[in-house]
Structure 1
Amino acid sequence: MSTPQHPTPPSAAPQWQAGSGPSYPGYTSPIPVVRTHLGHAIASEWTKIRSVRSTIWTLGVFVVLVVGIGLAVAGLVSGSATEVDYGQESPLSFGFFGVLLGMMCVVTLGVLTTASEYGTGMIRTTTTACPSRGRVLAAKSIVFFAVAFTVTFVSVTLVGLMDVAMLDGARQPTGQEWLKATLGVSLYVALLGLLSLLVGSIIRHSAGAITLMIALVLAPLVIALFMVAQALEWLRSGLFSYSIPSQIGVFYSTSLGDSGPSGWDPLWIAVGVTAVAFAGAVALLHRRDV
């Protein structure tokens, strides 16, 4: 005696809808196939960078250092002056000290943006979702640069406005000085952070990349300080002039060397070095496994 067959109720059957993707015998995907592009990768990287605590901590400390030290230096100068006379020094130059310390936070965040994914294994998920490794690195670079530039620009502009207000007896900055101390400094710091991101992608180790970047920032200046031999004066002068603190000082008209970059030269140097590092990082990404 055969077992009675109960037909499946029509309501229980899956209701497939035709998708725009490729069809296979007996099955049509209900999920539309969308060709991905750089915008999708940028949206993904934006979600990552704003959802991790390292971003909040590093950028938070950066703002505290830039704003706090900038205002503290201006306050000390204003309080110690017996007469309202600051010479030809621009009030914007007092923001240099906060930027010099705060840029270490941007360097750290730049390294963590890429190197931390290799430490946690998240990079495998990233490259699976977006197999184009060059697109992934480009998206990371765009998002990080935009965030670093925006935070730096707001911070240095705020410090500049408050320093000018506090030192009301000082010489008023010119338009060119304002442009260099806000836009120029912000672009340079963001490029330095982007270079750190690329170094993190190349080295793939957070501690090693951060150490290397801090050495790149501080070592030339420290080495130059201990060069006392007259025969090495040319090298000492070059290290002073082309050290990163000195190049940042160019935007504030407080360069540590008598020669070397001037005007907007530090920015073009940073652009060139970062472009070379980006090309190297992309080449290594395609040659190495994740």
Structure 2
Amino acid sequence: MQNQHQHQHQPHAQPHQPYGAHPQQGHQQPGGHGPLPAQGGYASPIPVRDAHLGHAVAAEWTKIRSVRSTVWTLAVLAFLVLGIGFLINVFTDDGDYRTQAPIANGLFGLILGQICVVTLGVLVITSEYGTGLIRTTLTAAPRRSRVLTAKVLVFLAVSWTVTTAVCTLTALMGAGMHSGPGVASADGGQWAGATVLAGLYVSLLGLLALAVGTLLRHSAGAITAMLGVVLLPAILPAFLLFSESMRPAAEKILEYNAINSLASLHRVNDSGDGLSQLLLLAVVTAVALAGAYAALEKRDV
């Protein structure tokens, strides 16, 4: 009875608490940076910043410079443009350039090299769909338009810089290997067309390929479609010219195909300076990108 009476008057046990802590206070963070939230909450010691376009651009820059496809496609581009330009300069003499400046020799390698930029433009987006990395990308960056914008900016900067540099080196090589009183000289407009504008045209073509890759989400299908865009307008007019009723359409297609557009920028024909072809490609690319943005926002990955 005595034990039972003592048990009834024993105070209730208090839950174990650290020495000096109050029931409603949280523990101190290491280093005395303030208390952690009470009742099981968590405050990360890592500072949290709002994401912006610069972060997406940095991520896409890391991707494009760390994959082997970028190195290989741009290396083949440089090899074709510089190599073919060098061979043409070696097997020609000054007498072959009385009416045409030798800086235009980069055109012949660029006709093939543009396929490399087109391939890279497709792979920038479709490689992520092929490996499933696109799910990780869009989870880390839920704003899909920001992701695509970052890809566009990074690809355009890389492709234009490399293509313009290669075209400039080829033009300088031609001007250095063929010079003299009998050699035609190039004016500022032709220099700009053979270097900066030619690089911009090829880069826009690659950007169009990026938009097509976003729409199709398949590497082989998008590359095949872009090969049709580049090669079909150059081949189709040869068949359409047999019909008198189709001749106007054939001549227009022949004027604005990719090969003739590059030739116009290099001033190797009499069809103008190539600015109208460059503007048309810019409009077509903008329309394709608008469709790519809409498709990326609407459909599931």
Question: Residue by residue, what CA displacement relative to the aligned partner does 1:114-147 show, whole Å, maximum 9, x if unpaired?
Answer: 0111111000000011000000000000000000
Aligned-pair Cα RMSD in Å: 2.3
* 1:87 maps to which of 88, 95, 98: 98
After TM superposition, give the deviation of residue 203 of structure 1 in Å: 0.5
Residues 284/162 of structure 1: CA separation in 2 closer, same or farther (3 Å cut): same
* 2:65 maps to which of 35, 44, 50: 50
Residues 136/87 of structure 1: CA separation in 2 closer, same or farther (3 Å cut): same
Identity %: 47
TM-score (norm 2): 0.84
Is the radius of gyration larger for structure 1 or structure 2?
2
Segments of 4+ moved more than 3 angstroms: 16-19, 22-26
* 1:254 maps to which of 268, 278, 281: 268
* 5+ long unaligned stretches in structure 1: none
Please state if 1:194 is matched with 2:222: no
Question: Residue by residue, what CA displacement relative to the aligned partner does 1:24-47 show, whole Å, maximum 9, x if unpaired?
Answer: 854322121100000000000000
**Is the 2:77–2:114 contact (alpha carbons within 8 Å) kept by the matching residues of 1?**
yes
Q: Secondary structure at the match of 1:33?
A: coil
Question: Residue by residue, what CA displacement relative to the aligned partner does 1:150-191 show, whole Å, maximum 9, x if unpaired?
Answer: 111110000000101111142121111111111110111111
After TM superposition, give the deviation of residue 60 of structure 1 in Å: 0.5
Measure, in 1, the Cα distance between the counterparts of 2:224 and 2:239.
21
TM-score (norm 1): 0.87
Residues 73/24 of structure 1: CA separation in 2 closer, same or farther (3 Å cut): farther
Please state if 1:38 is matched with 2:53: yes
Q: Secondary structure at the match of 1:77?
A: coil
Query: Could you tell me which amino acid in structure 2 is paired with residue 254 of structure 1?
Result: V
Measure, in 1, the Cα distance between the counterparts of 2:47 and 2:252.
59
* 2:253 maps to which of 239, 242, 249: 239
Which residue matches 1:27? Answer: 42
Query: Could you tell me which amino acid in structure 1 is paired with residue 111 of structure 2?
Result: L
**Is the 1:17–1:30 contact (alpha carbons within 8 Å) kept by the matching residues of 2?**
no
After TM superposition, give the deviation of residue 229 of structure 1 in Å: 2.7
Which residue matches 1:285? Answer: 296
After TM superposition, give the deviation of residue 211 of structure 1 in Å: 0.2
After TM superposition, give the deviation of residue 112 of structure 1 in Å: 0.3
**Number of residue equivalences:** 272
Residues 24/207 of structure 1: CA separation in 2 closer, same or farther (3 Å cut): farther
Query: Could you tell me which amino acid in structure 1 is paired with residue 161 of structure 2?
Result: T
Measure, in 2, the Cα distance between the counterparts of 1:67 and 1:23.
64
